[in-house]
Amino acid sequence: MPVPLWQRLRAYWVESPNADPLVDQSLARAYIVDTRDTPLSAAMIAAVFWGMFLVLTGDRGTLVWAVLVHAMQWNMHRHLHRVDPAAIDVASAARTRRQLELRMLFPGLVWALAPWLFFPHGDLAYILLMYFFVSGTTGVIIAALAQWWLAAVCFGVPVFLSLALRLVLEPGSVPVIMGCLAVSQLLASLHYARKQNRLIVRSIENGFENARLAEALSRQLDHVAQMAAQRARIFAAANHDLRQPMHALAIFVDALDTRSPPGADNLRFMRDSVDALRGSIDALLDIAQLDGGVAPVRLEPLRLDALFRSLNGRFAALAEAKGLALRIRPTEAVVRADARMLARVLGNLVDNAIKYTPEGTVFVRARRVQRPANGVPAWRIEVRDSGVGIEAQHREHVFEEFFQVDNPGRDRSRGLGLGLSLVAGMARVMGSCIEVRSAPGRGSTFSLVLEEAPAPPQVPEADAPAHSCASGSGRTTSAIRILVLDDEQPVREAMRSLLSGWGHEVALAANPREALQHGGVFDLMLSDLRLGSGLSGLAAAQALQAVGKARNVVILTGETAHANRVEVERAGYALIYKPADARALQDAIAASRLA
């Protein structure tokens, strides 16, 4: 729909407050600074004007106009010197700028009186002199005021229209033509002044936009520098924490004597090294998924009391061995959370509390939030200890990866420094955040707030799903047939050693062709996601299952991309990240048996 003509004219001639108040502030301040001394030079021009006509015509009207113009200029001079440009704030900039520009109407009206107070009737030469002096001076002033559009209009329009009207009323054709020329000169002057005004305002807007972009770029560069420094620290710590167990494991392997079985202590230390290495990698994987926003989360009603009982079962013996009292208050709270994540969050907090409390109590409780911020009922879960506490300068860093206040030597028995980083990320994914209150020597309190949820239906214990019947050693009460599909021979042999040690029948295949050569149907197929020669393990598993080679499929991979998880889940298969631990494999075997 075309815009009406009057709206286009209004948009062209009428200036509204700028969308960026900083532009109005800049123009208002510049008006004070740039025009502060203008009344003095204008007074000199006005004195030449009225003095010349007083001498040439002897008209006493020039004296009346002289009094008016110099009084007006003195008033303008005093006003401009009373206003402090620095006092013009952003909030009032548009209003102040408009008031300043409107004041140019007074000098415009005074100059508009000149043709009426001492017009040289009948003398064409003096009329031409007045025309050129007034129109020339006004045109220069309009150009000088171009960046303040309203001021240019307030001064130029009264002067030119008054001059044109006075010329048109004068007898003769020449004055009438001069009056028409005055009107056309007004329109031309305002047109070019408006173009100049838009150019100047646009350049000011671009200046502020460039300043904002430069500031944003500077912030981004600072953020990148901080992230680079943080990542460098993380990689340095991760390098140590990954190399240490690898170093220990390599020494134990080199120390193995093929003529005699390894000792129980050596095997235990080797397992500890592998567990430490797996723990570091799993923690880094969890952090990467949380930072990338791809961590799987399932928010549902969760009874805290069952979770609290689980915490007590996990940590009561550890607290007792250290001489601490672990007190977990029963609760009726039901919150909206991811059960797995919340269990890890509270488990990490309780573990840290026990670790950093030499004596005293670790207290866990949930209490209702009296005045929730968003008005939604909520519960605050607290883990409080009477331990060493955290100094103020360290509180903002405790949630950073690998940060530990008093472990510069990276003693693994003191943890990896990843727990609180994971805790903060998981709380964020569940729509909460970890708050910490602490005082050195008086202990710490870590808490998070979760929304209240309606209570889920109670599940009778008789209806609870059965768990894996694997024993602590991994041996099951009934063996199953397992096909291991992996292009790496060491991986295949290691899986055969482990699974056959648990009593299962294991077959190995490097590719689908070898898998088809094995007879019968397998209860479970463990397939790598990426096979050799660019072959997809997922596609191979789907094809083998389609021809009835395997009843159940579990995909193993060392790749952590979110797309891989989505692809496997879309196929309906379970996914285990490498290095896979025995518990995950046992759960997969138990699930296949139940299926």
Q: At what angle do helices 124-144 and 149-169 cross, to 10 degrees?
A: 170
Contact 331, 311 (CB under 8 A): no
The alpha carbon of residue 218 and the mean position of all alpha carbons in its chain are separated, in whole angstroms, by 15
Question: d(Cα 8, Cα 131) in Å, to the nearest integer?
Answer: 32
Query: What per-residue confidence (pLDDT) applies to 269?
Result: 67
Maximum alpha-carbon separation in the chain: 134
When computed from its CA atoms, the radius of gyration of the chain, rounded to whole angstroms, is: 42
Q: At what angle do helices 21-35 and 93-102 cross, to 10 degrees?
A: 40
Q: List all residues 6 or more positions away from 309 whose beta carbon is below 8 Å from its beta carbon.
A: 328
What does pTM read for this prediction?
0.48
Single-letter code of the amino acid located at 414: R
Q: List all residues 6 or more positions away from 162 whose beta carbon is below 8 Å from its beta carbon.
A: 112, 113, 115, 116
Among 366, 406, 387, 404, CA closest to 444: 387
For 283, the 3-state DSSP assignment is helix
Q: What is the DSSP string of 200-214?
A: HHHHHHHHHHHHHHH
Question: d(Cα 77, Cα 87) in Å, to the nearest integer?
Answer: 18
Instruction: Identify any residues that bridge with 524 across adjacent strands, giving them in sequence order.
Output: 482, 552
Question: d(Cα 51, Cα 45) in Å, to the nearest integer?
Answer: 10
Instruction: Identify any residues that bridge with 404 across adjacent strands, giving them in sequence order.
Output: none
List phi, psi (to 5°) of 574: -80, 155
In which order are the strands placed within the sheet that holds 505-509?
505-509, 481-485, 522-528, 550-557, 574-577
Tokens 């990240």 map to which residue?
Answer: 577
Question: d(Cα 250, Cα 558) in Å, to the nearest integer?
Answer: 21
Sign (positive or negative) of CA dihedral 294, 296, 299, 304: negative
Sign (positive or negative) of CA dihedral 14, 20, 22, 23: negative
Query: What per-residue confidence (pLDDT) applies to 151?
Result: 92
Integer CA distances (angstroms), 5 to 12, 228, 436, 591, in order: 11, 57, 64, 76
The alpha carbon of residue 461 and the mean position of all alpha carbons in its chain are separated, in whole angstroms, by 45
What are the structural domains of the chain? 5-217 (no CATH), 241-292 (no CATH), 300-456 (3.30.565.10), 471-594 (3.40.50.2300)
- Please classify residue 104 by burial: count the beta carbons closer than 10 Å to its beta carbon, then call 0-12 exposed, 13-18 middle and 19+ buried: buried
Q: At what angle do helices 339-355 and 304-321 cross, to 10 degrees?
A: 20
Residue 368, both tokens: 């209702």
The alpha carbon of residue 588 and the mean position of all alpha carbons in its chain are separated, in whole angstroms, by 39
Query: What per-residue confidence (pLDDT) applies to 522?
Result: 92
Single-letter code of the amino acid located at 17: P
Among 23, 171, 27, 42, CA closest to 101: 27
Residue 301 is classified by DSSP as: E
Single-letter code of the amino acid located at 404: Q
Contact 501, 477 (CB under 8 A): no
Question: d(Cα 190, Cα 321) in Å, to the nearest integer?
Answer: 90
Question: d(Cα 219, Cα 215) in Å, to the nearest integer?
Answer: 6
In the chain, which stretches have pLDDT less than 50?
240, 402-403, 407-418, 461-476
Peptide bond into 579 cis (omega under 30): yes
List phi, psi (to 5°) of 264: -60, -40
Residue 221, both tokens: 């560069």
Q: What is the DSSP string of 433-469?
A: --EEEEETTTEEEEEEEEEB-PPPPP--GGGSPPPP-
Integer CA distances (angstroms), 1 to 4, 142, 356, 407, in order: 9, 35, 72, 71
Residue 497, both tokens: 């050693």
Integer CA distances (angstroms), 194 to 23, 106, 205, in order: 17, 21, 16
Question: d(Cα 370, Cα 305) in Å, to the nearest integer?
Answer: 20
Contact 396, 374 (CB under 8 A): no
Q: What is the number of H-type helices and E-type strands within the chain?
A: 19, 12
Query: What per-residue confidence (pLDDT) applies to 459?
Result: 52
Question: How many Cα atoms sit within 13 Å of 418 on the Cβ side?
Answer: 20
pLDDT in tens, 300-325: 899 999 889 988 888 888 888 889 99
Query: What per-residue confidence (pLDDT) applies to 469?
Result: 39
Contact 528, 485 (CB under 8 A): yes
Single-letter code of the amino acid located at 435: E
Question: d(Cα 66, Cα 50) in Å, to the nearest integer?
Answer: 7
Residue 101, both tokens: 């520009």
The alpha carbon of residue 390 and the mean position of all alpha carbons in its chain are separated, in whole angstroms, by 28
Long-range Cβ contact pairs of 373-377 (< 8 A, separation 24 or more): 376/451, 376/452, 377/451, 377/452
